[in-house]
């Protein structure tokens, strides 16, 4: 427009210079007539140029308005598509469209923040075994109470998934938060082991309701082209809460006691609930189906997907590492595992923040297959240490544990969002809750199976052979992942 305005001003200046020369002098009449005709022609031509420029400027203005409207619609729908700058579009607008930040959408940001506070509250109970022991509980009672959480999740999540599709995501998120708050308040008022078992059942049910619905909501909000990275960033909130919760819980317990910790967990869950109350889920273009219909028409069939099998192997490895690494390290004379868990958390968060786009740009399989191999290598390192290192040997153990933490954490950082994106890519919107519930249940099944089965194996044949067997199984999972479709 600046060039158009300058051209108009220039033409008007020419007109102003020409006009004084056209004075009606009799002596110059013959000379004046040709000059007037030429001036008139040039004037008409200038007017046409001005009108043409104004028309083109108007068209560009309409085009820019339409493009800005399209950009706003993309932002509201959460489906901004990367595209090159187009003619007539301001370069700054094109850059904003291409960047398409994941957390720019309000609903996605709120879902992510609510996820952080929810799991910060829930993971405040990670030190509950100490409370059970203080009440006189045995190892068997500790294992039974803590195991109820996963058991409820395995059973309930596939059942909750169809209902979140039929009723909506937000109601089940609120139910999940309410159950976690009730469980925390019950723990403050009832210091007995049977009631703590009830607390864990309520927490398992609350976790199932909240996670399945919230994870499905994030998938609803983000198109497949950005889904892997979005799920990774969303998961960073949960990983951060999981890393911070034990530190904060220990600080509160030492100064104020367990009941204060449980009360604070209820308060933190209330913060998550207040965020969910202001959360709006996107409207469904089609009528939501009845949950029973979905269950009858193939919910069980989802379990037998190849990607679900890979998820089971992934859960087996992740669960076994976390359950048995502390006692394995102690058997080698290692007194602290801070470096391992720090490496694990940093790697898991780092690959999601810095490399999460690879899940979308290179395809799900291109990330899943090497990550399964990396997880296998991590447990292989633990198996080698089991055979070569003893409590009295001089072999440096901590650096190897740190490397194992980096490898297993990096694999986890890619595998969970990558597999979740893969299993939901080909799933219709009205079945996403079903698939998310089954996916999470399969992962929990792998974790729980590792904790129970490899406990008996370790007791019978020792850590070295246990890690070797786990490495062999994870290699089988890696081989299975090679059969995944290129996507």
The dotted CATH code for 289-487 is 1.20.1250.20
Residue 161 CA to residue 331 CA, distance in Å, equals 42
Nearest C-alpha neighbor of 131 from the set 264, 267, 253, 269: 253
pLDDT, tens digit, for every residue of 440-466? 888 989 888 887 788 888 888 888 999
Q: What percent of the chain shows pLDDT beyond 90?
A: 20
Residue 52 CA to residue 47 CA, distance in Å, equals 8
Q: Is the pLDDT of residue 25 over 70?
A: no
Confidence of residue 192 (pLDDT cuts 50, 70, 90): confident
Complete DSSP assignment for 14-48: HHHHHGGG----GGGHHHHHHHHHHHHHHHHHHHH
- Residue 420 neighbours by CB distance under 10 Å: 28
Q: What percent of the chain shows pLDDT beyond 70?
A: 71
pLDDT of residue 48: 53
Contacts of 372-375 with CB under 8 Å at 24 or more apart are 372/310, 372/313, 372/314, 372/411, 372/415, 372/474, 372/477, 372/478, 372/481, 373/478, 374/407, 374/408, 374/410, 374/411, 375/314, 375/317, 375/318, 375/407, 375/408, 375/411, 375/412, 375/415, 375/474
Q: Is the pLDDT of residue 183 over 90?
A: yes
Q: Which stretches of 222-299 are DSSP H helices?
A: 224-256, 258-277, 291-294
Q: What's the CATH superfamily of 105-288?
A: MFS general substrate transporter like domains (1.20.1250.20)
Topology agreement, domain 105-288 and domain 289-487: yes
Q: Is the pLDDT of residue 409 over 50?
A: yes
Nearest C-alpha neighbor of 289 from the set 441, 436, 429, 440: 429
Angle (CA) 226-230-235 rounded to 5° is 155
pTM comes to 0.66
* Two tokens, residue 487: 């996507």
Q: Which residue has the higher pLDDT, 124 or 144?
A: 124
H or E segment and range at residue 454: helix 432-461
* Two tokens, residue 467: 């890690």
* Two tokens, residue 235: 């998961």
Cα torsion 424, 349, 114, 132: sign: positive
Q: What is the mean pLDDT of residues 11-40?
A: 40
Cβ-contact 474, 316 below 8 angstroms: yes
pLDDT of residue 378: 94
Q: What is the mean pLDDT of residues 408-434?
A: 83
Residue 268 CA to residue 253 CA, distance in Å, equals 16
* Two tokens, residue 484: 């995944």
pLDDT, tens digit, for every residue of 48-75? 554 455 444 444 443 444 344 434 434 4
pLDDT of residue 486: 60
The domain limits of the chain are 2-77, 105-288, 289-487
Cβ within 8 Å of residue 248, ≥6 positions away: 120, 124
Cβ-contact 184, 263 below 8 angstroms: yes
Residue 265 CA to residue 184 CA, distance in Å, equals 6
Q: Which stretches of 83-168 are DSSP H helices?
A: 91-99, 106-122, 128-134, 139-167
Place of tokens 């669960």: 319
Q: What is the mean pLDDT of residues 400-407?
A: 89
Cβ-contact 421, 487 below 8 angstroms: no
pLDDT of residue 26: 41
Q: Which residue has the higher pLDDT, 27 or 241?
A: 241
Place of tokens 């076994």: 320
pLDDT, tens digit, for every residue of 89-128? 444 444 334 334 444 447 888 888 999 999 899 888 877 8
* Two tokens, residue 214: 């919230």
- Distances in Å between the Cα of 384 and the Cα atoms of 177, 325, 387 are 44, 14, 5
């Amino acid at each position: 427009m600046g060039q158009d305005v300058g051209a108009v001003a220039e033409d008007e200046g020419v007109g102003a210079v020409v006009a004084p020369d056209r004075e009606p002098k009799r002596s110059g009449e013959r000379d004046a007539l040709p000059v007037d005709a030429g001036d008139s022609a040039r004037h008409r031509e200038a007017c046409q140029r001005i009108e043409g420029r104004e028309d083109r400027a108007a068209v560009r203005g309409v085009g820019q308005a339409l493009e800005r409207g399209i950009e706003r619609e993309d932002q509201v729908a959460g489906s901004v598509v990367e595209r090159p700058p187009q003619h007539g579009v301001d370069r700054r607008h094109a850059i904003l469209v291409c960047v398409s930040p994941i957390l720019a959408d309000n609903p996605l940001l709120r879902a992510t923040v609510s996820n952080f506070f929810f799991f910060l509250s829930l993971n405040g109970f990670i030190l509950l075994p100490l409370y059970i022991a203080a009440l006189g509980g045995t190892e068997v009672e500790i294992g039974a109470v803590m195991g109820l959480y996963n058991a409820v999740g395995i059973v309930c999540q596939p059942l909750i998934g169809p209902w979140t599709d039929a009723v909506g995501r937000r109601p089940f998120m609120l139910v999940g938060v309410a159950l976690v708050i009730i469980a925390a308040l019950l723990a403050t008022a009832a210091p007995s082991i049977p009631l703590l078992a009830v607390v864990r059942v309520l927490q398992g049910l609350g976790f199932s309701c909240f996670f399945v619905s919230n994870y499905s909501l994030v998938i609803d909000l983000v198109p497949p082209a950005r889904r892997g990275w979005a799920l990774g960033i969303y998961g960073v909130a949960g990983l951060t809460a999981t890393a911070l919760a034990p530190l904060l819980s220990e600080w509160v317990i030492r100064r104020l006691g367990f009941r204060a910790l449980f009360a604070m967990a209820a308060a933190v869950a209330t913060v998550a609930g207040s965020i969910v109350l202001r959360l709006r889920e996107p409207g469904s273009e089609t009528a939501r189906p009845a949950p029973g219909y979905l269950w009858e028409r193939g919910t069980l069939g989802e379990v037998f997907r190849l990607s679900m099998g890979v998820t089971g192997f992934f859960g087996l490895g992740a669960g076994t590492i976390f359950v048995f690494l502390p006692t394995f390290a102690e058997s080698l004379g290692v007194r602290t595992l801070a470096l391992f868990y720090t490496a694990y958390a940093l790697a898991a968060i780092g690959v999601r923040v810095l490399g999460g786009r690879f899940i979308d740009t290179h395809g799900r399989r291109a990330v899943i297959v090497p990550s399964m191999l990396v997880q296998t290598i991590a447990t292989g390192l633990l198996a080698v240490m089991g055979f070569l290192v003893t409590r009295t040997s001089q072999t440096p153990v901590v650096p190897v544990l740190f490397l194992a933490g980096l490898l297993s954490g990096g694999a986890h950082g890619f595998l969970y969002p990558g597999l979740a994106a893969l299993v939901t890519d080909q799933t219709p919107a009205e079945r996403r809750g079903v698939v998310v519930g089954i996916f999470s249940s399969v992962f929990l099944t792998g974790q729980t199976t590792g904790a129970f089965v490899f406990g008996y194996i370790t007791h019978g044949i020792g850590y070295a052979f246990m890690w070797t067997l786990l490495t062999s199984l994870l290699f089988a999972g890696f081989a299975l992942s090679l059969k995944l479709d290129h996507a």
